[in-house]
Each structure stands twice: as structure tokens, then as C-alpha cells.
Structure 1
Amino acid sequence: MQNLPSTLTEWLSVLEKMHPKAIDMGLDRVRQVKDRLGIQFDCPVIIVGGTNGKGSTCAMLESILMHAGYRVGLYTSPHLLDFNERARVNGEPASDAALVEQFAAVEGQRGDVSLTYFEFTTLAILRLFAEAKLDAVILEVGLGGRLDAVNIVDADVSIVTSVDIDHTEFLGNTREEIGFEKAGIFRSGKAAICGDPVPPKSLIDHAAAIGAELWLFGRDFNYSGDKQQWNYGGRGQRRNSLGYPSLRGANQLLNASAALAALEALRDRLPVGAQEVRNGLVMVELPGRFQVLPGRPSVVLDVAHNPHAAATLAQNLNNMGFHPYTYAVFGAMQDKDIAGVVAHLKDIVDHWCLTDLPLPRAATAEQLKQTLLDAGIAQNAAPGSERTIQTFDSPAAAYANALSRAGENDRIAVFGSFLTVAGVMEAKRSGKPA
């Protein structure tokens, strides 16, 4: 590249067009550039993969370790509003200047190796962390595990939060096939945490084949509790009288247990006290994961975009108590199991506000509408009707419509693609909806 971009926006625009394929699975290219850059970590590294629950688990680990006084780097993807969200050092997003510096460094060593947007930015953020004098690094897998760019780093502890059907074109069509891909982040002789209560045999077999130290939920760690508090039990450590995580949802104790198992496995290198665990769980924040906004009508933001996540969202909505009507702002990628998502929510949602999304691989609002009709959801757009389906060209427009019709005791569930939630968040930030 002759003249390097000077701003983060310019860099990201260039990177989006740099490689012929948006997703190009494999580690050879990205590992080659990593070696040229000399990226290595002197602190413990935790890699977190899984179909759902990755973001929550990463956020809990970050919060607990920061409350224990450690300097922590956290890499997550995708972002909701700003790219900088992907790289956090001690809870603060990386600055534009810091990212631009690292992008230039990667470009300087890339040579003739072609990298995808995700590979290039992953290398830049890894180098940022390697230079930041951190006590712990937490890396969220982008897609799968075995062939994800994050997997060029050898983790001290790996976590697979859950295994379900998603990204079938890259990972396989069954839980067994997908489980093998997720287990690719495990390492010989290192702790390998699986938070899925029913792990695929392929995951267990792979851990055994490479000699990983497998921790299974229900066998090596578990939780118990009542309405006021809960307890964690591990191989050699108990955490009693814990407050529930501030992240809402019925599945968060599974995620919290996996996080605490990872910290138990690292307790000689990263000791964490009981109060620091309590504070970390109570203070953790993660936008877009069953996030209930203050005010009326109730607004729930959730990036549920596969059937497994939709089932959890449905359970969490049912646990919220009575609301006369539920409005859905829904947009999704066309390569997702949209019918599977709809199946879990069709008996909960009264009014569907379907939205186009600004990506070529997104399903159109009209395609989503057809999926609803095929699922037996009757359309009746008459004023005051019990069930309606309407289409919009943007999440902001869909949300504005839902807000205009919902009563103060109703609720609006914004879910599906990250772009759906991000579109509504951006509209709220800019004050667009009335």
C-alpha cells in the first residue's frame, strides 16, 4: 500500500475491500504475519468460543479481573456502534490513534500476504495488547474456533460456552461437526472448560486426543442457588453467597460458572478474592444481551440470531411478567435459520416490525415477512388488530413505528442481527425516534 490511510475510518474502508472473500477460513496466512510481527504474550491468555454466551462470559471475566486489580485486555467482535469497542484495555475502548498505529504496523509486515478484514484487525489488536503490559488477555473467537484467526494464540485456558447449530456453511450441519470446530481452541496440557451441559462427543474426544485438561459442567464444576444468591463449586474451590450477575437471563449462571472455572484453573497466576468475584459479577455490563432499557414501554435489546439464542430470549421474555402487547423489531442475515428463530418467538410477539439491513447478505424485510406467513402467523394490518406484520427499510424506522404504537405497559423486543440492535442503539443515541 503506497500511501497509508491516516484515520481509523479510512483504514476500515480500505480493509473491507482488501481481500476477495469476507471470510476465508485458515490460519496459515495470518500466522505468517503474526510471526513477522513477533506477537507474544507474557501474561495468561483466555480464549472464549461457543455458539452463544461468548460475549457474556468475556465480560464477566474482564469485570472480575479488573475488580481484582489486574490490567486486562479484552478483544470481542463484532462491535455494535464503534469499531473501538472490539479492543478494550482496562475497560476502555482503544483510541483511534492507537488502532491506526497498529494497522500501519501490520501493513508494514504483511508483504504480499492477503488478509481479510477480520484477520488484519485481529493482528492489529493482538499487537496492541502485546505492547500494553497487561496482566491478562481475554480473546473472543469470531467464528468457530479451529480455523478462527484468534486461534493463532496458544491459550492458557480455553472456554467453549455452548455448542449449537449456526454458521453451517463453515462449521458443519450437526452439533458433532460444530463441536469439533469449537474444540479446536483447546491446547495440550492446558485447561479446557466446556460450559455446555450436554457437550458433543466430538468435543470430548478431541480434548482427550490432544491431552487437554477437560473441565465439564456437571462433572468438574457446577452451580446451585436460590432466589437470593448462588454458589459455585469447582474441582478444588468453592465460591459461596454470590450475587446474581447483573447481566439478565436464565443462562447467565452457566456462563458465570464457566468463567469461574477458568479463574480457578488460573488461580496460581491470577488469584482472585471472594469479594472481587462478587463485585465483578454485580458490576458487569454488556450492551445488547437481554439488555432492558429504563423507562416505558419496556425495551429489550438482544442480539439473538440463531434458534438456540432465540429459545433463551423467549424464556427470558416469558420471565418478565405480563405485558399486554409485545412488539418485535427484527432483522436478520439470510444465511441464518430464520424459521428456527421465529418458531421460538411467534407465540410471544403480537406485532412484527421487520427491517431491511445495510448488508448484501441480509434478508430483506419482505423475505422475513414470508417466513412469518409460512410459520402460520396471520397478517392483519387493520388498525387495532391483534396481530400485525409491517416492513421497514431500516431498524430506526421499524423501532420508531413500534414506539409510536406501543402503550406504556407494552414492551418492544429488538433482536436478530447485531446490525438490528446497533441500528436502534444508533437511532437512540442520535435522538432520531420520536
Structure 2
Amino acid sequence: MQTLPDTLAGWLSRLESQHPVTIDMGLDRVSAVATRMKIGFDCPVITVGGTNGKGSTCAMLEAILLQAGYRVGLSTSPHLIDFNERARVVGEAASDAELVRYFAAVEQARGEISLSYFEFTTLAILQMFVDAHLDVVILEVGLGGRLDAMNIIDADVAIITSVDIDHTEYLGHTREAIGFEKAGIFRAGKAAICSDPVPPQSLLDHAAAIGADLWLLGRDFNYMGDQLQWNYGGRDQRRNSLGYPSLRGANQLLNAAAALAALEVLRLRLPVGAQEVRTGLVLVDLPGRFQVLPGRPTVILDVAHNPHAAATLSQNFGNMGFHPYTYAVFGALQDKDIDGVIAQLKGQVDHWCVTDLPPPRGASAEQIRDKLLAAGVTPSDKTDAECTISCFATPAEAFANATSRAGENDRIAVFGSFLTVAGVMAFRAAANH
């Protein structure tokens, strides 16, 4: 009889080593175990997929629904610092003890069925939500959608925030191929909300083929804003004089409009008042999404890791006002379009502090430096150089170097991966203790 771990760290290291394939597409195994565990929800379920903007949309929905007094369960991934961030019940991250208990329940139920790390942890979180007797469940769908473990749940409302090129080795190399995978979270007869201004035809076709109730930005819901406030208009509901979300950045009104469309769909089951929407948008908090830290030099944390997100980050830089120099702390995974990210940001950055990320997926700082050089970034070796590229072993070392060189009116942008941002957040937290 094998002994099961009694700590969260023990469980996570066991799960990382147990199922050899990190990403194992297909829902048969995870569905079979979910059936054994009798996982299902009586309350409304909202799933949120898309290339970028998922986390922000989930965070806004959670903040508004908590303000309205509902018991909300929210599952997101990946996490920045602690695994516990992936499961929140009524605004609080799951405790180690709860996660250990639910991991043991999945282990008992799975029997001979092999589960990947993500499938195993998804089942544990879903069972935790079932037992928490929630009023509403919000599930961020990770890779793709159609074959993501979260897609075993039939949602009442499915949101696709954006469709762009990412995870091409699993999802395909075109927006049409990726759009089809994302649209896999839509359900027949249920609301399917798309806040991408130019949705791929494959997404529209799939929604029509299965008979989903498709809500398109510009046709079924929209937003308008001026400098001070913005308005939402849906099929049957208007919300006026809203304050801007506390999440900064160019795309946040797209995400907020999608969240309000979902609430419009569910308004009879989950009524939400105007003031609860306003307060929720003001209080919403999501680390690492164009997060501007207080103090000088200006530090921006952004998990942008594909060209679409990098283009948004570039646009956000342009809206920030003047900074003499911009330092980039940049680390990326090898399976990302690093060249595409560089192309969007190379004109905005003066000094590149590039960092290794852990193998096997992490790109080395030298690989990134070579891509910067190939993209036409030309460093000077003078002491007062206008452009430099420096290589570091960790995000913390890259950030420490940028901080030591930046003037108080300069800015430091940390981006390229969740791991890059998490490394700098951990370094700053340790320094402040």
C-alpha cells in the first residue's frame, strides 16, 4: 500500500513526475474520473477561454459577483506564486489542507486511470467547488478549449475573449484553426459570447453548427467610453456611467463588456445591481496584467507572452507619458513566438535585461539575445550606451541589474512569461521583508 503525500508540495512534486506527458489531449480519461466522483453543478457555470484577456475577464466577474453577495468559486491557471491561487472560494485562495484533501479524493477515485498534472488538479478543484455549495462557478479554460480538462463541465455561458496565435503545436498555426479549438467550449442552446472584434469564421461556423446562442461584440453587445466613464449596451440591458476597471490597459473594456454580457445572460438567476457592478470594477485586482507598481522608477509587471499581448503592452506603453529610458526584463518559453513578441516591442525598449527560464521549456538568455540581434536591435558597447543587451541566469538577477541602472524617471517592464513576472514578484517580496 503506497503512502500518499500529506503536504501540498509533496503532492505537486508527485503529480509532476507521475504522468509522463505534460499535455495529453483528450477528455476521455478525465471525464471517466469525473463521472466516478459525480462532479456536476446545480448553480450557473461560466467558462472563459481565449488567447489573452481570460484572467482579467474572470477577475472582473468574480469581483462584481462577490459585491452582489454571491458565493463565487473561481478557478484560473497558471498561478504566479502559489498553486493555491488556482482555486478561490468566496474570494479566498484554497488552503494547503483543502487541496491535500481533494488530491487524495482524486487519487482514490482514479483507480487505474492515468491523469496529467492539469487533469488531476482540475478534478480536485472542481470537487472542492461542488462541496462548497456555491451560487456561481467561473472556470478559466487553459490551452485551447475543446480538449481542455475544464471542458468536461457544460457551462451556462461560455466567453471567448480573443483569438490569436499561441500554442501552435497543439492548436494549429492559423486563427481559423485556433478559433475552432476555442469554440469547443460553446454548448448547444447556451449563450456563447465572443469579445474578439474580428472573430474567426471557424468560431462563427461552429456556434451555428451546434446551435449555440452567439453574442458578438458590435452586434449583440457593445461599449462606449469617454475620458471619465463608459457605458455597456447589450440585447436587453444597458449599464451607464460606469467607472473604468482598476485593471489598467487598452483591452480592459473589451474584457469588461464580455463580463457584463455574461451577467446580462444570467440576470434572472444572478441579479446584479448597478452599484455592485461599479464597485466590483473599481475593486478588481489581478497581479501581473499591466500592473504598474507604486514608486520610482516605474515598474510594470505584465505576463504578455505572445505577439497579440505584446502589441497591447506596446500600446499601453504609448499611453503612459514620457520616460527617458525603458528597461525590459524579458524571459520566455521556447515554444512561444519570441520573434513576434520582440517585433512588437523592440522600438519601445532601450535596454534589454534578458533572462534564462528553467529547462526544459525555458529559452536561454543567449537564445533571446540572438533573436534580438537578428531583429535588428543593435547594442552599443560604450559606457553611456543608448541600447544594451545583458544576459542573466534568473529574472531576479535581471531585475536587480535593471533597477541598479534605471534613473528615477525611467521605467522597467517585466514581461514574456508568467515565470518571468513570478520571479521578479518573489524577489521583490523577499527584499521587502
Name the structure 2 match of 1:3: 3
| Alpha carbons 1:396, 1:432 under 8 Å: kept | no
d(CA) in 2 for partners of 1:36, 1:214: 33
5 Å matches for 1:76-91?
A: 76-91=76-91
SS in 1 for 2:389: strand
| Aligned partner of residue 412 in structure 1, secondary structure | strand
SS where residue 166 of structure 1 aligns?
coil
Q: Secondary structure at the match of 1:347?
A: helix
C-alpha distance in 1, partners of 2:33/2:72?
24
Query: 2:192, 2:59 → 1: CA distance?
Result: 19
Q: Does 1:377 align with 2:357?
A: no
3-state secondary structure, aligned to 2:414? strand
The farther-off stretch of 105-114 and 379-388 is 379-388
1:161 is aligned to 2:161: yes
Q: Indicate if the aligned counterparts of 1:381 and 1:389 stay in contact, CA closer than 8 A.
A: no
Corresponding residue SS for 2:317: helix
AA at the equivalent of 2:422: A
Alignment of structure 1 residues 119-268 onto 2, 5 Å: 119-268=119-268
Is the Cα–Cα contact under 8 Å of residues 177 and 202 in structure 2 kept in the other structure?
yes
CA distance in 2, matches of 1:429, 1:118: 27
Q: Distance in 2 between matches of 1:428 and 1:359?
A: 23
- Residue 208 of structure 1 aligns to which amino acid in structure 2? A
Q: Deviations over 1:164-195 (max 9, x none)?
A: 00000000110000000000000000000000
Percent identity over paired residues:
76
The equivalent of 1:42 in structure 2 is 42
Amino acid at match of 1:348: Q
Aligned partner letter, 2:338: I
Shift of 1:359: 3.0
For 1:337, the equivalent position in structure 2 comes to 337
1:280 equivalenced with 2:286 (yes/no): no
Which residue of structure 2 aligns with residue 394 of structure 1?
394
The CA distance in 1 between the partners of 2:316 and 2:274, in whole Å, is: 28
In 2, distance between residues paired with 1:327 and 1:113? Answer: 48
Instruction: Give the ranges of 4+ consecutive aligned residues of structure 1 lying more than 3 Å apart after TM superposition.
Output: none
Partners of 1:349 and 1:104 in 2: CA distance: 48
Answer yes or no: is the 8 Å Cα contact 2:57–2:255 preserved in 1.
yes
- Say whether 1:55 aligns with 2:64: no
Quote the Cα distance in structure 2 between the aligned partners of 1:307 and 1:41.
Answer: 37
- Does the 8 Å CA contact 1:84/1:94 hold for their aligned counterparts? yes
Cα deviation for residue 360 of structure 1 reads 1.1
Determine the structure 1 residue equivalent to 2:18. 18
**Which residue is 1:270 aligned to?**
270
Are the aligned partners of 1:354 and 1:369 in contact in 2 as well (CA < 8 Å)?
Answer: yes
SS in 1 for 2:33: helix
Q: Report the Cα offset of residue 42 of structure 1.
A: 1.2
Tell which deviates more after alignment, 124-133 or 381-390: 381-390
- Whether the 8 Å CA contact 2:379–2:385 is kept in 1: the answer is no
Q: Look up the equivalent residue of 1:235 and give its one-letter code.
A: R
Distance (whole Å) between structure 1 residues aligned to residue 104 and residue 20 of structure 2: 21
Measured after TM superposition, the shift of residue 382 of structure 1 is: 2.7
| Corresponding letter in the other structure for 1:136 | V
Alpha-carbon distance in structure 1 between the residues aligned to 2:302 and 2:386: 24
Instruction: Pick closer, same or farther for the CA change 1:423–1:204 going to 2, 3 Å.
Output: same
Cα deviation for residue 383 of structure 1 reads 1.6
- Aligned AA (2:172): G
| SS of structure 1 residue aligned to 2:18 | coil
CA distance in 2, matches of 1:120, 1:12: 10
**Distance (whole Å) between structure 1 residues aligned to residue 99 and residue 293 of structure 2:** 31
Residue 432 of structure 1, CA deviation: 8.0
Match of 1:407 in 2: 407
User: How many residue pairs are counted as aligned between the two chains?
Assistant: 433
CA distance in 1, matches of 2:179, 2:142: 15
Describe how 1:342-357 pairs up with structure 2 within 5 A: 342-357=342-357
Deviation at 1:90, TM superposition (A): 1.0
Alpha-carbon distance, 1:381 to partner: 3.4
Query: In structure 2, what is the equivalent of residue 65 of structure 1?
Result: 65
TM-align CA RMSD: 0.9
Residue 224 of structure 2 aligns to a residue whose secondary structure is: strand
CA distance in 1, matches of 2:35, 2:429: 41
In 1: Cα distance, 2:72 partner to 2:138 partner: 8
Give the Cα–Cα distance (whole angstroms) in 2 for the partners of residues 250 and 20 of structure 1.
40
How far does residue 142 in structure 1 lie from its aligned partner after superposition? Answer: 1.2
Q: Residue type of the partner of 2:102?
A: Q
Equivalent residues of 1:49, 1:159 under 8 A apart: yes
1:428 equivalent in alignment to 2:432:
no
Q: Is the 8 A contact 1:51 1:164 kept in 2?
A: yes
State the one-letter code of the partner of 2:65: L
User: Which residue of structure 2 lines up, in the alignment, with residue 318 of structure 1?
Assistant: 318
State how far apart, in whole Å, the 1-side matches of 2:59 and 2:198 are.
24
Question: 5+ unaligned residues in a row in structure 2: which ranges?
Answer: none
- Deviations 1:243-288 (Å, cap 9, x if unpaired)? 0000000100000000000000000100000000000001100000
User: How far apart are 1:384 and its partner, in Å?
Assistant: 1.2
Task: Answer yes or no: is the 8 Å Cα contact 1:326–1:349 preserved in 2.
Answer: yes
